[in-house]
Amino acid sequence: MLDKSPEQIFDSELVHIQNEFKEKVPNIVLCSEPFHKVEFLNKLINSVEKPVIFVDMDLLYTGYVESGIIQKKNNLTIFHPTKENWQEKFSEIITKVSKEKFLVIIDSFNGVHNMFEDLESAIFINSCIMLLASLGKDVDSSIIITAMARKKEDEGWILTPGGKQIIKSAKTGVYLLKKTENNLIIREIKENSKIFKI
């Protein structure tokens, strides 16, 4: 029997992908090209009416906003946490998310892990993200975490640079973002998952 081809959904307004992101919290979006990641995040931010919290760990998105290449929406709040103020900023984000529905974007997982290199800190960060995801689920918020990653044959998807394994649970959606000639394409990393063309 031949394998069924994955369903392809044209989603220029990102309605279907937003519904997909509600199924699991948090969602990790893997990408190998930083500019494709920024393009996708900007489209996602522009497609929602609810307030957006953008935790910018690699400052790429902020650079585009500050240079005027990307116009900052009024419903967007950008945070730039450092190792020194992470707990303070994270407490502020948690307080906001526990009271109101948000789209929360953490860009990127690599930046968080580069900031906190030892294992104990990495466990703490993962706990923070899972707490945020739990609170987000209670108020119907979406939590999106980006990661620059590549696939290693024996190890699966790993973060680049650094090569750390991506920590995820059964409640986490993991998606791969690519660019073709005409579209951004995003799909969950499992066989025969739907393909969303943006």
* Spatial CB neighbours of 56, under 8 Å, sequence gap ≥ 6: 62, 78, 79, 80, 107
Instruction: Say how far apart CA 108 and CA 142 lie, in whole Å.
Output: 16
Instruction: Say how far apart CA 187 and CA 151 lie, in whole Å.
Output: 15
Q: Sketch out the chain's domains with CATH numbers.
A: 28-197 (3.40.50.300)
Q: Could you give the 3-state DSSP secondary structure of residue 188?
A: strand
**What's the predicted TM-score (pTM) here?**
0.89
**H helix runs in 68-143, sequence order:** 86-97, 109-115, 119-138
Instruction: Say how far apart CA 154 and CA 136 lie, in whole Å.
Output: 34
Residue 124 Cα distances to 70, 117, 121, angstroms: 33, 11, 5
pLDDT in tens, the chain (198 residues): 445 678 899 999 999 999 999 888 889 999 989 999 999 999 999 999 999 999 998 899 999 999 999 999 999 999 999 888 988 999 999 999 988 999 999 998 777 767 776 666 667 777 888 888 888 888 889 999 998 887 776 666 666 555 455 656 677 888 999 999 889 999 998 878 899 999
- Two structure tokens written together for 46: 């522009």
Q: At which residue do the structure tokens 């935790």 appear?
A: 55
Residue type, 63: G
